[in-house]
Amino acid sequence: MGTSEPQFISVGKDADIRRIAVLRQPGQQPGVMWLSGFKSDMNGTKAEALAVSGAGRGQEVVRFDYSGHGLSDGDFEKACVSDWLEEAAAVFDAFCSGETVLVGSSMGGWIALLLALSRKSGGKIKGLVLIAPAVDFTEDLMWNQRFTDEIRRTILEKGRWEQPSAYGDVPYVITRKLIEDGRDHLLFGKPLQTGCPVTILQGAEDPDVPASHAQRLVEALPQDDVTFTLVPDGDHRLSRPQDIELLLRAVEEMSGR
């Protein structure tokens, strides 16, 4: 089936069932699975570029929208990391037909790592390409670093706080559920080994995920083959033509390893 119309997969149980939209571009393995960032969807610039590049190489490309994002069902304010990881795993198991390179951007980098660790024994993940990986972002980058006492108090007492977005007029709603659930998935502070090569692409001028945060991930993966590329003038999105070229080259090299 082509990529013009999404397929839908049901994830969850009973009242928690969500219909998740998936675009699968058939092709050869190793395939590519795209994992979007927080409040992003599968039709973004980088995801589309991966699909076009994959089609040119005859490579399978799978992408999807988390619940509360894009074409998928669900209320964003009711969703959390556990939900998005469950959806990523369901899509991976159902649509990735063979060896696969996981490509995750920002929060998608955290989800990709969690997915790789949960599927480590399956031998199906060929490698990871992570763009500004926002590992543990709910705790390290939000709760501990950027949130004031007043913001933390608002989240605890009201259950939500509207964070202004630098990427649009609609604010990001940060919920108490998101923060508390994120603590169940923290990776830093424990030994990490994905068992596959990892490539990290990071902008030095990223205001959302500092380069020091990505470097911390490099140090947390001492047993993996990690390549770290710092783009001196790169921002968080890394969506300029030269950034896209870097991403496509990294994915092609990972696919050919």
Domain boundaries, the chain: 7-136+188-256
For residue 214, pLDDT beyond 60: yes
CATH topology of domain 7-136+188-256: Rossmann fold (3.40.50)
Per-residue pLDDT reduced to its tens digit, 9-19: 999 999 899 99
Q: What is the pTM of this model?
A: 0.95
pLDDT in the model for residue 220: 97
Per-residue pLDDT reduced to its tens digit, 125-167: 999 999 999 999 999 999 999 999 999 999 999 999 998 877 7
For residue 31, pLDDT beyond 80: yes
pLDDT in the model for residue 1: 37
For residue 2, pLDDT beyond 50: no
With beta carbons less than 8 A apart as the criterion, state whether 41 and 71 touch: yes
pLDDT in the model for residue 200: 98
Dist. CA 230–CA 256, nearest whole Å: 22
Dist. CA 153–CA 16, nearest whole Å: 28
For residue 198, pLDDT beyond 60: yes
